[in-house]
Amino acid sequence: MSNDIERELAEILARDNELRDAEASEKRSQEAAAAAAVIEWESRVEKVLLPAIEPLAAMLKGAGWTCDIERTPHGFKVAAFRGDMVVYGSRERPSLSFELQKGKDLVRLHEATPSGVRLDSKILGVSVEPDVVKNRIVEFVSKLALK
């Protein structure tokens, strides 16, 4: 009987070790994917997205708007306004931020306008196309321009 109990305990411990190994492997895999997403996002922002939105900034400036594109620790921010526009309940200028979510391969949009501040429900992947970003900026400006 004693051997059966010891064998059963050995099997339980072996399964437990397998589960822990699988969990550790999954965690390493997730961490590697998150690190790869950071590298991809940083490269995409610098080489693809920022150059793609420069013409929009130039158009806004040519129309008398102020438009600043700023790098942030996890992405970039486009501030666009005319005159004395400020964000509702603050002295901040209207802006739209594209930020990589910590530990994920998703980009969150944060919008601040004279009518309020909100997180955009549209979550983008790190390989977001420039046209998607440009369209979102145009949507943002339309909220400001048509007031």
* pLDDT tens by residue, 46-91: 999 999 999 999 999 999 999 999 999 999 999 999 988 999 888 8
pLDDT given for residue 147 in this prediction: 64
Contact 75, 45 (CB under 8 A): yes
Q: How far apart are CA 118 and CA 134, in angstroms?
A: 19
Match 């997730």 to its residue by tokens. 30
Averaged pLDDT, 26-48 = 91
Contact 61, 72 (CB under 8 A): no
Instruction: Reply yes or no on whether the pLDDT at 120 is more than 90.
Output: no
Contact 100, 126 (CB under 8 A): yes
pLDDT given for residue 50 in this prediction: 97
Range of the domain at 94: 2-145
CB-neighbour burial class of residue 19 (10 A; exposed 0-12, middle 13-18, buried 19+): exposed
Q: What total number of domains does the chain contain?
A: 1
Q: Is the pTM of this model over 0.85?
A: no
pLDDT given for residue 140 in this prediction: 94
Average pLDDT value over all residues in the chain: 91
For the stretch 7-31, pLDDT in tens is 999 999 999 999 999 999 999 988 8
Contact 50, 34 (CB under 8 A): no
Q: How far apart are CA 82 and CA 62, in angstroms?
A: 12
pLDDT given for residue 46 in this prediction: 95
Instruction: Reply yes or no on whether the pLDDT at 122 is more than 80.
Output: no
What residues form DSSP beta bridges with 99? 75, 108
Q: How far apart are CA 53 and CA 131, in angstroms?
A: 9
**Angle between helix 50-62 and helix 130-145 axes, rounded to 10 deg:** 30
Instruction: Reply yes or no on whether the pLDDT at 1 is more than 70.
Output: no
